[in-house]
């Protein structure tokens, strides 16, 4: 079973659980089965014929946020999320995926996004018609989570572009609103590829794409080419695009941001895309107070619980993971959480409605 990942499965099975303490799902559940070692050991036993490949084992591989934190504590630098995603794809093929994943597929199909709404109409009602140009060479791709949950952040993004005298970025029309990561997370590889092909047609004229969501940036940059769908090589997260412009002094800062902020590194922006300095540089340009860091930061940043399909398959677990991450933010002096990912923002706000959670864009706009 999963012969492509024989090395990963074998090494994890016979490892003395060196990454055990870093797994957000294992920590939140207290269940060894849901640690990287536990899930990999089950797959090993299936491969050995010791236990059957059934719904219980299939359910276990859906208990992974795909955060990749376990890799940072692995002497062999093994990547477990690709194994879990391959196992989910097999579960779908064998019709053994959890009921939540079955229902998610139908829900996604209704509007071609995980929000169940016409996101293109939402986006067009949000911005002036002049910001949509199908022939634009540089396109801002907000992503479905941003469109549905944080319309003001999208408005603020274009306020920043205007302040920076960036008049060549058009907004993607969101006719195909989702990058497809939620489909892939649930094991629907064929549907992910079909969505990718439609998306590539919509972005065919773009020479550069700026993403408001790290998962979208990773999908366009790496996952689409992985299924044979190619768009431009120039894919950026918004912080990568903004940081050099702000560093050059092009942002007219009228007042510093007064509140104390603690920065959360999103898993996909950090461990997947390797973007750590740009968000901090942007915040340090405008913050009056020194930026606070979580003790688990940069490549060791703890997960928010908002990825890997966990909010769909187990929303209670997702909130517990987010609450564990926020424990440190709520200690001591009052501070707001700032990040650069709409899924992280949503996860934190669901876990603690009283906490102020901001996108970096929202912080920058308050300073111009």
Which tokens in the block code for residue 296?
């688990």
pLDDT at 130 over 80: yes
pLDDT above 70: residue 1: no
Burial track 92-101 (b if 16+ CB lie within 10 A, e otherwise)? beeebbbeeb
Give me the chain's average pLDDT, please.
97
Between CA 101 and CA 66, with CA 20 as vertex, the angle to 5 degrees is: 30
Task: Give the rounded percent of residues in the chain with a pLDDT score beyond 70.
Answer: 100
pTM above 0.95, yes or no: yes
CB 251 within 8 A of CB 229: no
Per-residue pLDDT reduced to its tens digit, 114-125: 999 999 999 999
Find the angle CA(155)-CA(157)-CA(162) to the nearest 5 degrees: 95
pLDDT of residue 151: 98
Longest dimension (CA), the chain: 67
Q: What is the pLDDT of residues 219-240, one digit of tens each?
A: 999 999 999 999 999 999 999 9
Structure tokens at 309: 């399909």
Per-residue pLDDT reduced to its tens digit, 297-306? 999 999 999 9
Domains of the chain with bracketed CATH: 3-97 (1.10.1060.10), 102-242 (no CATH), 253-365 (3.40.50)
The pair of three-digit structure tokens given for residue 205, joined into one six-digit string:
């004229």
262-306: per-residue pLDDT in tens?
999 999 999 999 999 999 999 999 999 999 999 999 999 999 999
Cα–Cα separations (whole angstroms), residue 176 to 115, 140, 179, 215, 224: 13, 14, 8, 16, 14
Q: What is the mean pLDDT of residues 42-57?
A: 97
338 Cβ neighbours under 8 A, 6+ residues apart: 261, 262, 263, 264, 283, 357, 358, 359, 360, 363
């Amino acid at each position: 079973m999963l012969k492509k990942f024989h090395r990963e499965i074998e090494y994890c099975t016979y490892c003395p659980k060196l990454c055990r303490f870093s797994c957000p799902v294992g920590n939140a559940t207290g269940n060894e089965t849901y640690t990287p070692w536990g899930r990999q050991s089950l797959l090993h036993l299936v491969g050995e014929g010791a236990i059957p490949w059934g719904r219980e084992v299939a359910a276990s591989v859906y208990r992974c946020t795909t955060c990749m934190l376990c890799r940072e504590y692995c002497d062999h630098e093994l990547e477990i999320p690709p194994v879990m995603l391959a196992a989910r794809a097999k579960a779908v093929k064998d019709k053994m995926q959890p009921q939540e994943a079955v229902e998610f597929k139908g829900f996604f199909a209704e509007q071609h996004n995980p929000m169940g709404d016409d996101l293109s109409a939402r986006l067009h009602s949000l911005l002036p018609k002049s910001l949509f140009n199908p022939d634009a060479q540089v396109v801002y791709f907000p992503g479905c989570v941003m469109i549905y949950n944080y319309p003001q952040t999208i408005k603020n993004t274009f306020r920043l572009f205007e302040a920076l005298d960036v008049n060549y970025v058009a907004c993607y029309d969101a006719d195909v609103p989702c990058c497809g990561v939620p489909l892939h997370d649930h094991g629907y590889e064929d549907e992910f590829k079909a969505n990718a092909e439609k998306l590539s047609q919509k972005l065919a004229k773009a020479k550069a794409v700026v993403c408001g969501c790290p998962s979208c940036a990773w999908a366009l940059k790496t996952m689409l080419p992985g299924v044979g769908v190619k768009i431009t090589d120039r894919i950026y997260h918004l912080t990568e695009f903004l940081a050099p412009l702000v560093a050059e002094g092009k942002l007219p800062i009228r007042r510093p941001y007064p509140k104390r902020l603690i920065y959360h590194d999103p898993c996909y922006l950090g461990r997947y895309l390797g973007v750590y300095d740009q968000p901090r540089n942007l915040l340090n340009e405008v913050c009056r107070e020194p930026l606070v860091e979580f003790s688990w930061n940069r490549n060791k940043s703890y997960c928010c619980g908002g990825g890997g399909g966990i909010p769909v398959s187990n929303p209670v677990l997702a909130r517990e993971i987010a609450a564990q991450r926020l424990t440190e933010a709520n200690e001591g002096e009052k501070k707001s959480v700032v990040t650069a990912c709409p899924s992280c923002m949503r996860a934190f706000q669901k876990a603690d409605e009283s906490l102020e959670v901001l996108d970096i864009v929202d912080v920058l706009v308050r300073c111009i």
